[in-house]
Amino acid sequence: MIRDPGTPSGPPTPRPAPDRSASSVRAVRLRGNRRELGVTLVFLLVLLALMALGVSMGRASVSLPELLDLLTGRADQVTRFVVVELRLPRLLTAVVAGACLGLSGALLQSIVRNPLASPDIVGITHGASAAGVVGVVYLGISGLALAGFVCLGGVGAAVAIYLLAWRRGVVGYRLLLTGIGVAALATSVVSWVLTQTDVRDATVALTWITGSLARADWPTLNPLLVCAGILAVLLAVVGPRLRSLELGDDPADALGVSVERTRFWLLLASVALASSAVAVTGPVAFVALVSAPIARRTVGSGRPAPVPAALVGAVIMLASDLIAQFTIPETTLPVGVVTGVVGAPYLLWLLMRTNRSGAGG
């Protein structure tokens, strides 16, 4: 039998099986992006519904047809004054400040990789509130001057925490413990100032450090909007590296991310967001702490989810302010009282869960 010389001898060479790992990763990532987009839209709709509810509630009620007339430019002067001058500044201040706190907590928890890390735990808002109390009681400043002084206090506390925690780099647990110490120091400063001042000044300062939206108006809202816009641009540049940073220092470095530089800019953005919010509303407790975990649980797959965290913070702040205004007749509570009632049990549950899992040290 004559063998065809063009026919290879021996068994045929098997073809390599197609690599399905890359397609699987892309499919998982696509599902995660779709779910994050869906969660973002849901939180946005909830926020818009709360804003519509906040506009309509109050002694001078505004019905839905009157609100539609206002949007189309056909409302009367009374409706325009009630909505635009009285209610809209407070609603937008709650939304923007809550979003800033929620996003600040999401960034800080991703940097430290610890659910306990938030500006109101590690001392950033404590430093800002200490500066605010000193400015109100001793310097007698208000408005933009007080907002700038509060921001300087928050930045100063963050710089002190960063320098004290630096040991050839910054490790998450060391940053967290240093921040708790700085928070205790700032709290003692606030207590000392309140005990040394007049009762009336102490009452004003105490209302402010509890967290309140009573001073919300257009002149205080506009600087907050400017700061939030500038920080949004910064996060658009640095934010995409956040997911790589959550993998750990060595994996992030292997992916080409400058770990310390990225951590510094993200930490700066977190501090600036929290300080900007505190300058307007005071140190509203627990909004930054609970926003990111809620966003992660709803988005799933352990994604950082900074945008959903910002929306969750806005929803929590606005809903808490509506509860503070309209739950008790003839009484308006500071919004920090409501967020404290909601956030304190969560913090206790988180501490118990951490210790039970053996991660609490």
Burial class (CB within 10 angstroms; exposed 0-12, middle 13-18, buried 19+) of 207: middle
Residue 356, pLDDT above cutoff 60: no
Residue 45, pLDDT above cutoff 90: yes
Phi and psi for 279 in degrees, rounded to 5?
-60, -25
Q: Write the CA distances from 335 to 150, 198, 216, integer angstroms.
A: 19, 24, 12
Kind and range of the H or E run holding 220: helix 218-238
Max distance between CA atoms of the chain, in angstroms, equals 115
Residue 62, pLDDT above cutoff 70: yes
Predicted local confidence at residue 46, as pLDDT: 95
Residue 296, pLDDT above cutoff 50: yes
Mean pLDDT of 33-56: 90
CB 175 within 8 A of CB 192: no
Kind and range of the H or E run holding 52: helix 21-56
Mean pLDDT of 277-303: 85
3-state SS class at 302: coil
Residue 261, pLDDT above cutoff 50: yes
For 169, the token pair is: 């780099």
pLDDT tens, residue by residue, 138-187: 887 777 787 788 889 998 998 898 888 887 666 667 778 888 899 999 98
What's the rounded Cα separation, in Å, for the pair 71 and 32?
36
3-state SS class at 34: helix
Predicted local confidence at residue 170, as pLDDT: 64
* pTM for the full predicted model: 0.84
Task: Give which of 102, 149, 148 is closest to 270, Cα–Cα.
Answer: 102
pLDDT tens, residue by residue, 6-16: 555 555 555 55
Structural domains in the chain plus CATH codes: 76-354 (1.10.3470.10)
- Where is average pLDDT lowest: 41-50, 76-85, 175-184, 298-307? 298-307
322 vs 31, higher pLDDT: 322
